[in-house]
Each structure stands twice: as C-alpha cells, then as structure tokens.
Amino acid sequence: MEQAAAGTISAPAAPSPADGARGGGLLHVALVGNPNTGKSTLFNALTGMRQRVGNYSGVTVERVEGRYRDDAGPVTVIDLPGTYSLSASSPDEEIALAVLTGRAEGLPRPDVVVVVADAANLERNLFLASQVLELGLPTVVALNQVDAAQAAGIHVDPVELTLELGAPVVATVATRGEGLDVLRRAVRQAPSLPLAERQFSLPGEAARVLRPVEERLAAAGFHPSAAGMEALRLLAVTHIGRHLAHVDGLGDAVAAARAEVEAAGLEPRSLEAESRYGWIGDVVERTVRRSGTGARTFTDRVDAVLLHRVAGPLVFLALMALVFQSIFTWSEPLIGWVEGLFGALGAAVAGALPQGDLNSLVVDGVIAGVGSVLVFLPQITILFLFLGILEDTGYMARAAFIMDRFMRSVGLHGRSFIPLLSGYACAVPGVMSTRTIESPKDRLATIMVLPLMSCSARIPIYALLIGTFIPSVVVGGIFNLQGITLLAMYLLGTLTALGVAAIFKKTLLRGRARPMIMELPPYRLPRPRGLALSVSHRASLFLKKAGTIILALSILLWALATYPKTDPAPGMTDEQAQEAQLAGSALGRLGHVVEPAVAPLGYDWKIGVGILSSFAAREVFVSTMGTIYGVGAEADEGSATLREKLRAETHRGSGALVYTPLVAVGLMVFYVFAMMCMSTLAVVVRETGGGWTGVRWAAFQFGYMLALAYGSALLVYQGGRLLGWG
C-alpha cells in the first residue's frame, strides 16, 4: 500500500493508521547502520542469495535489495549504505535519509527499519540509532557482533537497552546466523508496537526556538517526531538536503532558529551531537558492563607493525606489488581461455553459417564484440576479490591512512590511491572502484586521470613497437634500452596522471580540501560468501551496462570495416584480399581522410586505420596492423613477419622508411595518453552520473586525452626531427 507513495515528492511521510493493524502480507524493511557493524553480513544472512543490485536513480550509490519470507508473508529488505549519522552530507548519507523519509525515487517508505549496531562500539552506534528512532517508523535494533564484544569484555544488556530506547533490541551474531529468527519475528511485530520518541530533552530555549522549523516540516507532511529530528539535525548542516528541497521557507526558518540558539548562549552546530551523546552516555552507563583488563587488542598489535613508520609503507608496497602482480599473472591464463573460447565459437559458427555478410556480422561483429567485453572479466574479478579482502579485513582504511599525505600533494584523497593503482591492470575495474571515494570532486578527478595509468591492453602495442624498433643494447652497464623504454612509458603515464589530477583539482574540480575523517576499524577475517556476492555484483554490473554499449560499437566498427565491399582480384591470396577489402572499406577510407591529420606525427594512412580501429580497444591496433600488412588478423606482438614488414614499410613517393625509432616512440607516447578503449568510456559514462551528464564527462575525458596524445606525439616527432634523430 505504501507503493503508491513511491517517487512522489509531496506524499505524506507519516505512516497510515492501518500500518499498526496489519498482521501479515508484504513488508518493506530498510537496514541501516554504521560501516563495519556487520550490516552487510546480516543482510546476506537474512536474504541469502536472493539479492538484486542496482543504482539509486541519478546517483552512483549502490542499491542492494533482497527478500525473505516469514510465516506471515514476504519481506523485502533494502541494505542502505553504511553511515555514521543522518546528517546527509555525503551522497551515501543523503540516500539513506531519503529512503527513510520516503523520498527516494521508485522506493516505498519502509514499513520497518532495522538499525544494525555494533555491540563493541555501542556509544558511537547509538548516535545513528537515536536519530533513526525519531523518524516515526517502527524500528528494531539488531545488536550485532555480541560475541566479539564479549570477547573484548563488553557486555550489553539487550533488555535494559530495549527499555532505554523504547524499541525492541535483538542480540545477533550475523556471521554465525545467531538471533536471526528472533530478529525476523521482531521485524514482523514491530508495526504493531508504539513508535519510539525522543528520549532526552533539549535545553529549554532550544526546544522553543526550533518549534517554527518543526511546524514547517509538519505542515509539509512530516511525522511530528521526524520533524523534531530533522529540525535538530538542520541546525548543524550546511545544506538542507535534497529530500527537504520542497519544504517552503525552510532555509530561512533554520537560519532564524540558529541565530536564536546562539543568542541563548548555546552552540547551534554542536547542539544535536552534545544533546544526543549526553543522553547516550547515561544509557551506556546503565546498559553496558565492562570486564576488560585494558590489555592491548589484536588490532593494536597488528597496527604497531602495519602502521609503523618504516615497516608500514614497506608492507603496503609489498602488498600492492602482490595484488598488482596477481592481476597480471592470474588473469593471463583466464584471458587466454576466454579468447580461446570465443575464437573457437567464432570458428564453429563461421563454419556452420553460409558464407556472406550474416556470417561475418555474427562472427566478426557479435561474437568478437562479446568476446572483447568478456575478456575484461578475469581482471575485474581478481581486482575486486583483492579489494574486497582489503576492505573486509579493514586494511583499506589503513592504506588510505598511509597514502593520504602523498595523494594530498596532488590534491587528492588517500582513498584515490588504490583505484589509480588498479589502473595499471585495467581502467575499467579501477573506475568502478572509485566509489569508495567520498568527495564527488575527488572521485571525478580520479576517474578523469585513471586511464592515463598504463593498463595491460597497452602492453601488446609497447611490445610490438619496442621489440621491432628499439635496439636491444645495454646501457649504463646493466640496463637494457628496451626495458628502459618500457619503464619510461609507465612513468610518463603515471606522472602525467598525477600532474593532470593536480591541475583538475586546481581548476575544473576546485573545492575546499575535504577532511580525511575516517574510522580505522578492528581487523576482521573476510567473509567468503559476502566476498563472492560482491564480486559477482561488480561483474554483472559491468556486463549489463558496459556490455550493451560495447556490443553496439563493435557492430558499428565491424560495419565500417566491411562496407563497401571490394571484390578480390583474380589470383589474390586470402590475406591480400583481406588487405584490399580493408583498404577499400569505410574504415580504410577514413584512414585516408585522417592521413593529413596524422602526417605531422610521421604516420601514414595505415597507422591511421590502426588508430581508428583501436578505438574498440588498444590492443586491436596490433591485429589491425596484421590485417593491413597481410599477415592475417591473428598477428600478435611477437609475429616475426609483422615486424619485418613494418621495418621494410616505405612512404609512397619518397621511399623513406615509415617506421623510424622516432615514429615508434611517438606512436607509443600517443598510446600512453590516448583513451582508446570503449569499455572504459562506457564505464566512465555510467560512473560519472550516467545519461547526458556521464556522456559529457566521458567526451571531455576522451577529448583532453586525445589532445594530450596528439600534442605529445607531435612534440616527440617534430622535436626529434629538429634534433636530427628522425
């Protein structure tokens, strides 16, 4: 019945009287809690594998929903993003508050809220819990991780706490499934219990001056209790939040109340925190018994090493090297397997269908296109597996702690480091992993520069060009010039990424330095089931959204390379026919069209075609070169024939060699900078807000990177010629 209220901005937020009377039927439950409380584990335990992951409309906050069934009927559960308060100052918090007040688009106001509270950290967890209790919704508190709390000598009395809060408290151990049945029963019964109310009173003056704000909110349909909670919260925040944007004159009323609170000698910004924590202190006094000896905990001992001045950064670097190395080495056989599978599938279909355009469309367009998407899956899976382990164990926050100072020197946040590092493997999962960065501007800046990190798809290009044109000579006694060239390409990308980020943060994405206020949670063992679920969520998100765009573009590129047709001249070999076909196709003609533009870089039309076709993915450059030079599309960077043909290629007319080492270096520099990867573009569109906003960011990124690529390649080639190296 609450379904009708979904998405309507002016729907009354107060639950209808029927709510309390309802005994069974469909129940909508929202799960809310601090980060690191085991909330997601509890969600997984409640709902099992029946989950759906999507996005809230208009923002890149993950929306996780699941369902279960109890004796009285089905229950849907939405797992809200982890949050410390309902201050609505980050996108995550804003969503949590919008859902709880029934103002999230496409979602009904929940019938019951479950606040997950960490028993070992009751004080801080009760802050959010007490805010939620005032929202005028039936609420159940799941006191989670009671086992870990007891081990630390913290004993919470759930019965006492129930009396203090005015809402049922259920002790749970989500990791072992303990207390779930009791929790499910409490959820079903919650709507028939009286609603909790604020359990503490404000200083006399404050209560009076907040009344006009509360009245405005109540007039706009807010439950009286929720209006009280919002009014108190609004005193402390800098913007009122999107879910209140429709309330008339609210900003002025809040400003007036703030001035009056100040005039009464109180501090308006900390009034809520001081009142709530004052009350919480008393509650904890009455409900928590401590038997701890104050001994150093396991986490203290581990952090003494992992955050040590010298050992800390070394362990961090070693861990990153391990992660990075694994992404390369473990994904290699899997990528080979995916490529082999699609190659075999293509060959089988090619044999089964009659020769012709349909055959070619299915084999070279659809199957090859889908294959080029799936080939990213191994890297995405492995990276998110590692990121999940780092996040679950609590090390991710430590990594940000160690790297924050360094990242701040380029205007970014400690949390930006790991996504950037992931970019060395593949920008696609890297961009997807920027969701842990709280500040939208930092996140955008990180996404904008991430594809400058040399990803693994550039390796075939580097390998082909270095192997063909850079002499394998020893310099400085021990270094090989080929190796140095490769290292130089990686350094060039990395330093440029950091520099460009600094520029963006000073110009386009300028903003106040965001504070780095973050909990360092106790170390925990990762939960395999939760890990598996979150990795498969990421993979399916990528496949669903990016997959469709990439497939469409693959078919477009196929069409450009296939039409118009060129009939092979008599006596041509298959490879010559392929070469002639490509030269005469729209793509080949486009190569001729762009030739004047790439000529200043020292390129001919064939390289132009290679660059155009590599828009699909960088490594396609190598196979296109294989087709153009008639050694077959199966050419790879190690192909000796391709290398010889490239070395021998001359310009029409002048007869000068096309590929000098200078051209090769310029071409590599071009690929260091150019954003030739439609998968990354598709993911950037999605992660920068989707729709036209996302398209604009992706287009801007493609444009600036292309300009950087072109300018640098021009500088290398023309500058090198001036110096007489060409």
Partner 1 sequence: MRTLAQLAPGERGRVVRMDGDADAVRRLNDLGLIRGTTVEVIRVAPLGDPLEVRLRGFMLTLRRAEAEHIELE
Q: Does 512 bind partner 1 (CB under 8 A)?
A: yes
Q: Residue 407 or residue 444: which is nearer to partner 1 going by CB?
A: 407
Nearest C-alpha neighbor of 211 from the set 224, 223, 221: 224
Q: What are the two backbone dihedrals, phi and then psi, of residue 671, each rounded to the nearest 5 degrees?
A: -75, -20
Q: What is the distance between the alpha carbons of residues 50 and 657, in angstroms, rounded to a whole number?
A: 62
Q: What is the distance between the alpha carbons of residues 78 and 43, in angstroms, rounded to a whole number?
A: 8
Instruction: Report 179-238 residues binding partner 1 (CB under 8 A).
Output: 236-238
Tokens linked to 218: 């109540």
Work out whether strand 112-118 and strand 139-144 pair parallel, antiparallel, or are unpaired. Answer: parallel
Question: What phi-psi label fits residue 19: left (phi over 0), alpha (psi between -120 and 50 degrees) or beta?
Answer: alpha
Write down the H helix ranges in 112-249: 122-133, 146-151, 158-165, 180-189, 204-209, 211-219, 224-234
Q: Does 121 bind partner 1 (CB under 8 A)?
A: yes
Pick the piece of the chain touching partner 1 (CB under 8 A) from 82-90, 367-375, 457-465, 585-593. 82-90
Q: Give the Å distances, CA to CA, from 285 to 123, 126, 143, 155, 279.
A: 10, 13, 17, 12, 10
Minimal distance, residue 582 CB to partner 1, in Å: 53
Q: Residue 309 or residue 652: which is nearer to partner 1 going by CB?
A: 309
Q: Which of 140, 250, 397, 601 binds partner 1 (CB under 8 A)?
A: 397
Q: Do 361 and 558 contact (CB within 8 A), yes or no?
A: yes
Q: Residue 272 or residue 637: which is nearer to partner 1 going by CB?
A: 272
Q: Residue 274 or residue 634: which is nearer to partner 1 going by CB?
A: 274
Pick the piece of the chain touching partner 1 (CB under 8 A) from 11-19, 83-91, 192-200, 662-670. 83-91
Tokens linked to 312: 């800390």
Q: What is the distance between the alpha carbons of residues 57 and 690, in angstroms, rounded to a whole number?
A: 10
Tokens linked to 713: 């390649």
Q: Does 518 bind partner 1 (CB under 8 A)?
A: yes
Q: Residue 523 or residue 717: which is nearer to partner 1 going by CB?
A: 523
Determine the size of the site formed for partner 1 (CB under 8 A).
43
Pick the piece of the chain touching partner 1 (CB under 8 A) from 52-60, 403-411, 496-504, 716-724. 403-411
Q: Do 624 and 610 contact (CB within 8 A), yes or no?
A: yes
Minimal distance, residue 109 CB to partner 1, in Å: 24
Q: Does 404 bind partner 1 (CB under 8 A)?
A: yes
Minimal distance, residue 446 CB to partner 1, in Å: 19
Minimal distance, residue 114 CB to partner 1, in Å: 20
Q: Is the peptide bond before 564 cis (omega within 30 degrees of 0)?
A: yes
Q: Residue 288 or residue 362: which is nearer to partner 1 going by CB?
A: 288
Tokens linked to 393: 């164990």
Residue 551: other Cβ atoms inside 10 A: 16
Q: Which of 22, 124, 529, 589 binds partner 1 (CB under 8 A)?
A: 124
Q: Do 221 and 101 contact (CB within 8 A), yes or no?
A: no
Minimal distance, residue 36 CB to partner 1, in Å: 9
Q: What are the two backbone dihedrals, phi and then psi, of residue 117, each rounded to the nearest 5 degrees?
A: -120, 135
Minimal distance, residue 162 CB to partner 1, in Å: 22
Q: What is the distance between the alpha carbons of residues 33 and 23, in angstroms, rounded to a whole number?
A: 26
Q: What are the two backbone dihedrals, phi and then psi, of residue 217, each rounded to the nearest 5 degrees?
A: -65, -40
Q: Residue 84 or residue 563: which is nearer to partner 1 going by CB?
A: 84
Q: Residue 319 or residue 543: which is nearer to partner 1 going by CB?
A: 319
Q: Residue 268 or residue 608: which is nearer to partner 1 going by CB?
A: 268
DSSP code, position 178: B
* Whole-angstrom Cα Rg for the chain: 30
Q: What is the distance between the alpha carbons of residues 254 and 384, in angstroms, rounded to a whole number?
A: 43
Instruction: Report 227-286 residues binding partner 1 (CB under 8 A).
Output: 236-238, 269-270, 272-274, 277
Q: Residue 266 or residue 455: which is nearer to partner 1 going by CB?
A: 266
Q: Residue 238 or residue 293: which is nearer to partner 1 going by CB?
A: 238
Minimal distance, residue 116 CB to partner 1, in Å: 16
Q: Which of 406, 479, 692, 725 binds partner 1 (CB under 8 A)?
A: 406
Binding mask 283-322 for partner 1 (x = CB under 8 A): ----------------x---x---xxxx-xx---------
Q: Do 46 and 184 contact (CB within 8 A), yes or no?
A: yes
Pick the piece of the chain touching partner 1 (CB under 8 A) from 80-88, 195-203, 211-219, 615-623. 80-88
Q: Which of 50, 176, 246, 405 binds partner 1 (CB under 8 A)?
A: 405
Q: What is the DSSP code string of 13-73?
A: -SPPTHHHH--SS-EEEEEEE-TTSSHHHHHHHHHTT-EEEEE-TTS--EEEEEEEEETTE
Minimal distance, residue 255 CB to partner 1, in Å: 14
Q: Does 577 bind partner 1 (CB under 8 A)?
A: no
Q: Does 87 bind partner 1 (CB under 8 A)?
A: yes
Nearest C-alpha neighbor of 369 from the set 351, 350, 346: 346
Q: Residue 89 or residue 393: which is nearer to partner 1 going by CB?
A: 89
Q: Do 124 and 84 contact (CB within 8 A), yes or no?
A: yes
Residues 114, 119, 121, 124, CA torsion sign: positive
Minimal distance, residue 51 CB to partner 1, in Å: 29
Q: Residue 418 or residue 682: which is nearer to partner 1 going by CB?
A: 418
**Tokens 């107060």 label which residue?**
14
Tokens linked to 71: 């004796």
Q: Does 488 bind partner 1 (CB under 8 A)?
A: no
Q: Residue 273 or residue 555: which is nearer to partner 1 going by CB?
A: 273
Minimal distance, residue 411 CB to partner 1, in Å: 14
Q: Residue 267 or residue 357: which is nearer to partner 1 going by CB?
A: 267
Q: Which of 17, 265, 354, 515 binds partner 1 (CB under 8 A)?
A: 515
| Binding region for partner 1 (CB under 8 A) | 84-85, 87, 89, 120-121, 123-124, 127, 236-238, 269-270, 272-274, 277, 299, 303, 307-310, 312-313, 397, 400-402, 404-406, 408, 512-513, 515-521
